[in-house]
Amino acid sequence: MAAVSGKKLDFNGFSEDTKEDLRRMMVRSLDIDLYYSQRVDVTERDEVAAGFNEEYLRLRREFDDPDDILWQLEQYVLGNASAPHANRRAAMAVLAYFFQSCDIFDNPPPEYLEGCPDVEEEFA
């Protein structure tokens, strides 16, 4: 998977804690890529991505805070019952994967990146 720009994290307005959570879980993206590459149904990844994107767009109309949107997406994965820590980490890894693959949240426009050093910070 291609590295995500560190500026995408900034552009989307996440808190420092959320940016760190996403960075930490992006290391699992290769595992998720491998999972999808081994599926018999080759459309599964795209179908899941479309579902996440649809839910993200719905949440964006309802919530202004990107941290709240990400939390709501976590609830979309886990349901609204309390989940064990390992499940929450797995959900965050999946969300980080779809963030990194540009299926959820916005990419910064080129003018946002002009003059920014270290545009391509790698987290994978």
Q: What is the spatial distance between Cα 38 and Cα 50, in angstroms, rounded to a whole number? A: 19
Q: What is the spatial distance between Cα 116 and Cα 124, in angstroms, rounded to a whole number? A: 20
- State the average pLDDT over residues 32-55: 95
Q: For the purposes of burial, counting CB atoms within 10 Å of the CB of 9, is it exposed (0-12), middle (13-18) or buried (19 or more)?
A: buried
Q: What is the spatial distance between Cα 76 and Cα 55, in angstroms, rounded to a whole number? A: 8
Q: How confident is the model at residue 4 (pLDDT cuts 50, 70, 90)?
A: low
Residue 90 confidence (pLDDT): 93
Q: Residue 5: is its pLDDT beyond 70?
A: no
Q: What is the spatial distance between Cα 46 and Cα 48, in angstroms, rounded to a whole number? A: 5
Q: Residue 72: is its pLDDT beyond 90?
A: yes
Residue 120 confidence (pLDDT): 44
